[in-house]
Amino acid sequence: MLVDPSFLFRFEVSLNRRACTWNSQGIKLPTSFRLPSFGALADRPVFGDVRVAWSAKGLAIQVLVNGKRQLPWCRESRLDDSDGFHLWIDTRCSPGIHRATQYCHHFLWMPAGGGPRREQPVVSLVPIARARSHPKTVPEGQLKIAAKPRHDGYELSGFVPATALTGFDPSGQPRIGIYYALIDRELGWQTLTLGPEFPVMDDPSLWGEAVLAS
């Protein structure tokens, strides 16, 4: 196709509110928290179930990947090349900017890649290229992750506390910028909107918007 259909629209989704309590098994979110993949309009694959919730305490995610025949390729030393779930958040929703500010965050959850045998899940706040400024540093241990393998994929969940989201203010700023990419070497890119043909990883103007619904 000459034009990616998802390039023609500015997409908006609703994030439902839920009080989430983190434990060793992670977080479970109902189907009503599932996010769409508008990237399917451009025939990009849909192989994952992506769910996101919010509360005054932060953001919770749950991801289920199906259809794999190979193990995920994950390396803590090569975050940009690894399989995993990427989530970009702009807490001040600035769709007109092309370079990230201190309110723009890029989080990555990987089902493996950490530890001596690369079997431990990994979560990280990833610097955004070309950013004008960066969000505050997140102390080790604040970002949460739980993951387990499945016969044809994996399941993971995570939590980002409000203290790790620079500028997060649901009552004063109930609209945020959002973009996700579920990246897999075997299955491809499942995206909220545009794909890797565009500079989605560092240009907030290409992200969608989310309303923090009650």
Look at the block and give the residue holding tokens 């769910």: 51
Which of 20, 53, 21 minimizes the C-alpha distance to 35?
53
What are the pLDDT tens digits along the chain (214 aa)?
A: 667 888 878 899 999 999 988 988 999 999 999 999 999 999 999 999 999 999 999 999 999 999 999 999 999 999 999 999 999 999 999 999 999 999 999 999 999 999 999 999 999 999 999 999 999 999 999 999 999 999 999 999 999 999 999 999 999 999 999 999 999 999 999 999 999 999 999 999 999 999 999 8
pLDDT of amino acid 2? 65
Question: Cα 188–189–191 angle (5° rounding)?
Answer: 160
DSSP 26: B
Strands 12-15, 208-212: pairing is parallel
Domain residue spans of the chain: 15-212
Look at the block and give the residue holding tokens 């509110």: 17
pLDDT of amino acid 161? 97
> How far apart (Å, rounded) are the C-alpha atoms in residues 112 and 119?
5
- Return the CATH architecture of domain 15-212: Sandwich (2.60)
Ranges of beta strands (E only) in the chain are 12-15, 48-55, 58-65, 84-90, 104-114, 120-125, 144-150, 153-161, 175-184, 188-191, 208-212
**SS3 assignment, position 31:** helix
pLDDT of amino acid 214? 82
> How far apart (Å, rounded) are the C-alpha atoms in residues 38 and 192?
5
Look at the block and give the residue holding tokens 């991801």: 63
**What are the phi and psi torsion angles at 16 (to 5°)?**
-80, 150
Q: Report the number of secondary-structure helices (H) and strands (E) in the chain.
A: 0, 11
Look at the block and give the residue holding tokens 């045998």: 117
Give yes or no for a contact between 202 and 100, defined as CB atoms under 8 angstroms apart.
yes
Give yes or no for a contact between 165 and 59, defined as CB atoms under 8 angstroms apart.
yes
pLDDT of amino acid 20? 83
C-alpha R_g of the chain: 16
